[in-house]
Amino acid sequence: MLVSADQFDALIRQGDMYSRQQATQTQATAEFWHQVMRHYPEHAFWMVQNPSLPSRLLEAILQNAPSLPVVHMAARKAILSEASALQLAQHPEAAVRLSLAKNPQISAQVLAILAQDIDPSVRQIAQAQEEKLAPYHTDAQHHHPACADWQWAMGF
C-alpha cells in the first residue's frame, strides 16, 4: 500500500516500468491521494491510472483543465462517474472520445452518445461495444442463447 506522496513521487521519478506500474496499481487511501494532489500535481497522468483514486478527486483533476495526455488517460483507464464520462463524450479531441469508447467501465448511455459521434472511428468502436452489451441491456437478452441457458438454469 502506498503511504506517502513522496513515495509515489519516487516511484514515478525512477522511470522504470515496474516502479510506475506499482504506482498506478497499488491501493492507497483518499488522504494519500489528497497529499499527492497537493504536493505533486504534475503526476496527474499517473494518478488517474490508479483505480483507488477516489472519483471525487478524479473529477477535480478533470475540471482543472488538465493536459490532453491526462484527459486521454482518464478516458482510457479510469473508473469514471457518469457525469465525467458524459463530459468526456463531448470532448473536442476524437482521440479522447475514442479512448472513452474503449473503456469497459462506461455506461450504455455514454456508448449511445459515442455511437452517434462525428468521428467514424469513435462511432465504430462505440457501436461494437454496444453490440457486446446488447444481450444484457435490451429485450434481445431473451433471445440470446447464453441468456436462454441462464434463464433455463434459474427456472425462468
Q: Is the dihedral of CA 101, 126, 106, 82 positive or negative?
A: positive
pLDDT over 60 at 24, yes or no:
yes
Confidence bin at 5 (pLDDT 50/70/90): very high
> Which pLDDT belongs to residue 34?
94
- Between 65 and 45, residue with greater pLDDT: 45
Angle CA(144)–CA(145)–CA(147) in degrees, nearest 5?
A: 65
Q: Which of 108-112, 116-120, 137-141 has the lowest mean pLDDT?
A: 137-141
Model pLDDT for residues 84-98, shown as the tens digit of each residue: 999 999 999 999 999
pLDDT over 60 at 14, yes or no:
yes
pLDDT over 90 at 2, yes or no:
no
> Which pLDDT belongs to residue 136?
61
Confidence bin at 109 (pLDDT 50/70/90): very high
| Residue percentage of the chain with pLDDT more than 70 | 85
* Helices 5-14 & 17-25 angle (0-180, nearest 10): 150
Q: Specify the pTM.
A: 0.76
40-76 b/e with 16+ CB inside 10 Å = b?
Answer: beebbbbbbbbebbeeebbbebbeeebeeebbbbbbb
Give CA–CA dist 75/98, Å, rounded: 9
Compute the average pLDDT of residues 133-153.
Answer: 47
Rounded to the nearest angstrom, the gap between the alpha carbon of residue 149 and the centroid of all alpha carbons in its chain is 32
Which cell numbers in the block locate residue 72?
Answer: 486521454
